[in-house]
Every structure is written in C-alpha cells, then in structure tokens.
Structure 1
C-alpha cells in the first residue's frame, strides 16, 4: 500500500509488551519457572490470554489463599530475566520522535517490571505510565485506556492506541478511543466481542508521526 495518514491524534497510548518491547522469551522463562511450583500442567497457549494482568490470570489458576504469593514469585522470576528484553523494531525511533507529553505507556504489567523492561530495551521512559497497580480492572476492561487519556489530559476519543493483544484492542474500543493500531499478526484475531483494530502493521517501523499526523507505511491487513 502507499503511505497514508491514519489520523491526527492528541495523544498516543502504547501497550508495552509486544508493542514497545519484546519480552516474550523472558516472560516464557519466568512463567515456566513459576509453573513448576504452582501449576505443573500450565500451558501458556491454553491458560493465558495475552494482554491481561498476570494477577488476573493467576487468580484463575491457583487457590485464592496463594494468589498473592504466586504473583510475587512470578514477578521475582520476571525481574530476574528482564535483561533478555529488547525493543520492538521501530519503537525507539518512533517514541523518540514524539513531542514531550504526547504519549503514555499503558501496560498490564506491574510498574517495577514495566520500567525495567523499557530500560532494558533502551526506550526513553514516558512522562506518564499506567500500570497494573493504577487500575481496579485490567484489560479487556476500558479502565486502563481511560486512565491513559486522563494522564495525557485529552479526551479519550482523540487518542490512538497501539496494541498487539485482542484483549487490549477490546479495552481500547470499550474506552472509546478514536483509533486502534494493531501490532503484529496476533492483532488480526478479534476479541470475543468482535473488537478489531482500524489497521494492523508488522511493527512500529511501519509508523511515523509527522507534523501531528500519524502516518502508516505498510500494513498486514
């Protein structure tokens, strides 16, 4: 396709894992270690929906009285493997090109882990960050992206969301964001409510922010 302007957003809201940073290998290693103690038959493809808070997933897999301890042990393992986190192609260049205060990271991960992964990937930290601790309900609930728009100080309908996970895409749609850009082939799959992005790109190398316009260079859809 030829280059095209998708929108003129007032703020850009980025999911973290799978959008800004590639943490898949480190996350898989941490969950594997976690499973040996808490869920020996754990299978990531079967038992996880990418994009949700780890605490919400764990609460569905273990007894209520061990949820907090299980989450703390997972976080410890994830922090131990964080050095394996790199940047998604184009993430550093795109975020570095954005005006100060115009973008917010909105992640399902805990703050400590999100900051460590962004630092490991070499991404300059945003002024504002929404993490698992900042919301009562995680994705696919709209609260994370509503909070992101609040942090940016703009109406949610003037925001564009970048997401790789169907749960996160559904959260953006439910929040009423103006546009959703899917990242990677996984974003082509609709959530159970039918939520889909406006466009799906291979990675952030396919996105530019030029004089206030969000420009799409290539798509998967």
Structure 2
C-alpha cells in the first residue's frame, strides 16, 4: 500500500459497526421507563461519540428532569449497554465496506486497533461477531482515561500498538471522535464525509 500509515485506529459505532442507530432508541427507552424526559433536540448530541461516563451522566440528568430525584448514572447506562449487546449478538451489522477494508489493511501488514467509548462487553461482542479478525488491540470506555474529545484514547491506542500517533490513520464518524483524533496528532478520515465503501472503491482502482 503506497504511502501507508504505521497503523490504523478505528472508532466502533457508526464507523465499523452499524450500532449508532440503536443507542438513541435504547437510551430513550431506559430514560422514559425510569420516569425521565428525553429532549429530542438536545439529548441525542449529548450521547453521540462521548465517553461511557458522559453518556451515563446524560441519561441520569434526563431521568432527574422528569422525576425530580437523583438517578444512578451507571445503572442506567448498564441497561442501555445490555440492550446494545443483545442487539449485536443477534446479528452483527458492519458498515458498508468496513469488513473489506479491515481485511485489506491486514493484507497490507498494517496493525489495527479499535478505539471506542463503548464498554469492554460491547467490544467483546464485536470481536466475537467478527470471528477471525485483524484487530491487534483496543481501547474501550472501561479504560480509566479521559474520553473523547480528549486525545487520550487515541494516544493510548497508538501506544498499545507501539507506534507514533503522528504516523497513524484514524477512521471516525462523530465530531467528538474527530476532535479527539486530530488533537492526538493523527491523520483523520471522516467516514461521514467519505464513506468506507467509497474509499474501498478508490483503493481498488
């Protein structure tokens, strides 16, 4: 692969796996079942691409908004995570072009890591679903570091691969994740601006 990076770092939700649409309805259901109020113009952005802790905080605040009582952020987030894991284990749906690109990077000898705000249980669900996968390591929401948009997750991913983050290529979909990757010093590819399937066609030309 011409002018290849030292390694590939990829976000999970909305980048490799099509789970992003599931987070919102699962979050709404958990909030409303707990007596909370979900604000459709504000709350979706508060959970998109953020750390597990920030997502949990947003859920708790939405519940308190409706009940007037303090809610347990982690318990709420665990319920959402359980719903997403169950969804993934029923059938893993990759983003178009994701599987082929992972294989192409593996064939090119490029080490790959997943860098996600999702908890380790969801990373394991992805790994189990992929079977024989090319991922060398991962950073999850269970790592005790600041979450995106802080650069810490991508810096840790590069460290675990033993490469310089400045020589890495990152694939991301959210503004939060893109900010984290850029702050870390990586070369960044936004899959919302250029989908993986489109990139795959370009690489095969």
TM-score (norm 2): 0.80
> What secondary structure, in the 3-state scheme, does the structure 1 residue paired with 2:42 have?
helix
Deviations 1:104-132 (A, max 9, x none): 11011011112213544678251211101
Would you tell me which structure has more strand in proportion to its own residues?
1
**Structure 2 residue 12 is matched with structure 1 residue 16:** yes
Q: Which residue in 1 is equivalent to 2:77?
A: 71
> What secondary structure, in the 3-state scheme, does the structure 2 residue paired with 1:89 have?
coil
Q: Is the 8 A contact 1:30 1:74 kept in 2?
A: yes
Equivalent of 1:92, from 93, 99, 106? 99
Structure 1 unmatched runs, 5+: 185-199, 210-214
Q: Which residue in 1 is equivalent to 2:190?
A: 182
Equivalent of 1:53, from 51, 54, 68? 51
Q: Is the 8 A contact 2:136 2:161 kept in 1?
A: no
Q: Which has the larger displacement, 85-94 or 38-47?
A: 38-47
Would you tell me which structure has more helix in proportion to its own residues?
2
**Structure 2 residue 32 is matched with structure 1 residue 36:** yes
Q: State how many pairs are aligned.
A: 191
Change (3 A) 1:44 1:111: farther
**Structure 1 residue 162: Cα displacement:** 0.5
Q: Which residue in 1 is equivalent to 2:87?
A: 81
Moved beyond 4 Å, runs of 4+: 215-218
TM-score (norm 1): 0.75
CA RMSD of aligned residues (A): 2.7
